[in-house]
Structure formats: structure tokens, C-alpha cells
Structure 1
Amino acid sequence: MTSSYTGGCDHVKVKATSEPIDNHVCHCNVCKGVTGQQTTHVAFFKHDDLSVDHPEKMNRQPFNKDNPDGPLELCTCADCGAALMLDDKQKRIRVAVPNVMGYEEASFPEATYHAFYDTSKGYAKPTDGRPVYDSLRPEFVWPEPA
């Protein structure tokens, strides 16, 4: 691993033991609703490659309020409410949002593409040279559950 990715809050630390398996700028409405940002830098890790030191101090809530039974849960600190990570109930991935979840954003590799861009959202298509997709990159393969 070339960098150490450690995030979280004063009560719960989140640490990656490997590089992200996917690293993109997300344009989805769920990320916008949760973060309040137009776009969000998102890093996917294999489920067991992102761990927490005090899982008993995490609250879990559906990530997508419009799909409460969906696979992703937003994990927050039970003490201070800080966002810690997204956890996949199917145990395929865990997700870090560097600028929201207590990481040093500069330590993360730059996002390699734009995901979930939709022309109906009313803003210009990104022109920064990175590929733009209406979903995850076509070659992305979901890892097997841990």
C-alpha cells in the first residue's frame, strides 16, 4: 500500500489495509442528499480491507432513504454523530468519502472517472478529461462477499 487511509472521529477510527478497488467522483442523487455536495469523491474498498476499531460505537441507518432495504448503510458515531463509512450488508464493499469521513483527502488517489452522471440533472457534463459514465465504470466487478 502506498498510503495510509485513516479516517473517522475521536471515538471511532476507520482504517484501510489496501488500496481502493474503485475511486470515482459520484454524481448520484443519494450522495448529493447525504453530503449536500454537487459531486462527491468516493472510494470503494473490499469489505474486509476497511475496518473500524470500535464497531459497537456505530449507529447504522439506510444510506438511501428512498430504498431503506437497499444494501448500503451509513455508519455514524454513536457519540458525536460523525459519518464514518458506508457498509454493504452483503459484505462486498465498504466505502470512504474522504472529505466527509475524517480522512486527509490529499492522501487519497485522485478519482479516475465520473459515475452516475445524468444529463437531466441540469449541469454541464464534466470536462476534466476523466471518463464520464451513467453508472459505475463498465469494467467494475463487484467483489465476492467477505
Structure 2
Amino acid sequence: MSHSFSGGCDHVHTHADHDPIDNHTCHCSVCKSVTGQPTTHVAFFRHDDLEVDHPEKLNRQPFNANNPDGPLELCTCADCGTPIMLDDKQNRIRVIVPNLMGYDPSFPDTTYHAFYDPATGVPRPDDGKPVHEALRPDFVWPQGH
């Protein structure tokens, strides 16, 4: 069966049939540290909208080493080590980084820049997309369960 969005690795697959609720270019220090990228394409899905076929094959570790009790866990494949998703312990969202988590290059482009901090000395993005110091102002966190 074909899905709107699908990714993962040879051992663990994720998919969604609903659009992401947020799709941004992240400039935060945690994403830079975890991915090694200067900016990161990040897509948030409602927790139950992103399905995982073999959750028992996921290794989980804190996403933010400076906040090990934070809500997000980086999930990697126990067999091959591929990053699969970020899972929210509060069951609000699941997060994917399309270029690192097995998604097709045709994944929809980001709509804005998040967590841009001019104090880093990095030039302000000039691609015409809105630039925010946090998530977009109208973003509302879904309810967990």
C-alpha cells in the first residue's frame, strides 16, 4: 500500500497519510549537534499520524544531551543504527528529518525558519520564507494522550 510519506530503513519503516503539522528549517544548537548540519529540515506530525511498523526494534536516547529528561527521544534502528524519528514521550508529536530518515527527496519543502538566533553570527536567511526565533507564532502543540 502506498502512503503519502514513508521512510525508515531496511528494518524499521515509518509512514504517514496526513500532512505534517509543522515543516520548518531548524537553526537550533541541538539539531546542529545531533545532525552535524548547519540547518535541519524538520517535520512534525501528530503522534498518531506517523506510524512505525516495528517499534520494538528502536533504540531510544535523549534527543537533547543537555536535557536528558526532556520530552523528545531520538529513535534509531537497533539493527543498523539509522535514525528513524524523534518520538515525544508526551505523545503529542513524532518528528522526522527527511534527508536523514529515509524519506524521498520530493518531501515538501519547509515553510519557514525556526530558532534563528542572530547572536550566532550566522547571516539571516534571505530565501523569502518567514524567520522566527522559535516555532512559528501560530503553532499550537497537539494534545498528548
Residue aligning to 2:126: 127
Letter in 1 for 2:18: S
Q: Does 1:49 align with 2:24?
A: no
Residue aligning to 1:19: 19
Residue aligning to 1:28: 28
Q: Alpha-carbon deviations, 1:44-98, whole Å to 9, x = none?
A: 0000000110000000000000000000000000000000000000000000100
Letter in 1 for 2:52: V
Residue aligning to 1:66: 66
Q: List gaps (5 residues or longer) in structure 1.
A: none
Q: Does 1:136 align with 2:135?
A: yes
Aligned residues: 143
CA–CA distance in 2 between the matches of 1:141 and 1:105? 27
Residue aligning to 2:117: 118
Q: TM-score, normalised by structure 1?
A: 0.96
Identity among equivalent pairs (%): 69
Runs of 4+ aligned residues of structure 1 deviating over 3 Å after TM superposition are: none
Residue aligning to 1:93: 93
- Secondary structure of the residue aligned to 1:31 is helix
- Secondary structure of the residue aligned to 2:84 is strand
Cα displacement (A) at 1:17: 2.3
